């Protein structure tokens, strides 16, 4: 692992989160949810890279959370709590649906997912 690679992942993740907020404000809900997913995926990979020296080549947020849970079990609240798991599953689905499927996201659902990421996901992951 290089510090440089880890830092690129962290900066890119944070940029995706900022971009998601901006896109939500601009009414670009499909792109906002995709950026939320990218933030989650990259920040988990960043944490795994820092803590373990590598991360699996996957897009599955659930798998990444479980792998990070081997380092700090507190983060497993994201997949072991059914309410959180529903949010994680919706965010994970956005990777495919926002890119390839004719699904249109609504403002309220993207706002709710962003709120989950900011208030639940991010604080749990940051503590690892």
In whole angstroms, what is the distance from residue 76 CA to residue 1 CA? 24
- The CATH number covering residue 51 comes to 1.20.120.330
- Containing structural domain, residue 48: 3-126
Give me the number of domains the chain comprises.
1
Q: Are 70 and 127 in contact (CB under 8 A)?
A: no
Task: Going residue by residue through the chain, which has 128 residues, state the pLDDT in tens, using 9 for 90 and above.
Answer: 578 889 999 999 999 999 999 999 999 999 999 999 999 999 999 999 999 999 999 999 999 999 999 999 999 999 999 999 999 999 999 988 877 888 899 999 999 999 999 999 999 999 99
* 47 and 56 Cβ atoms separated by less than 8 Å: no
């Amino acid at each position: 692992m290089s510090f440089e690679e880890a830092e690129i992942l962290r900066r890119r993740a944070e940029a995706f989160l900022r971009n998601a907020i901006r896109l939500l404000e601009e009414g670009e809900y499909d792109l906002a949810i995709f950026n939320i997913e990218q933030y989650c995926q990259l920040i988990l990979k960043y944490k795994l890279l820092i803590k373990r020296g590598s991360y699996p080549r996957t897009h599955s947020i659930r798998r990444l959370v479980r792998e990070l849970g081997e380092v700090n079990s507190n983060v497993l609240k994201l997949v072991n709590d059914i309410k959180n798991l529903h949010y994680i599953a919706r965010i994970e689905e956005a990777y495919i649906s926002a890119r390839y499927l004719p699904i249109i996201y609504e403002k309220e659902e993207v706002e709710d997912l962003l709120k989950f990421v900011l208030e639940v996901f991010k604080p749990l992951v940051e503590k690892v």
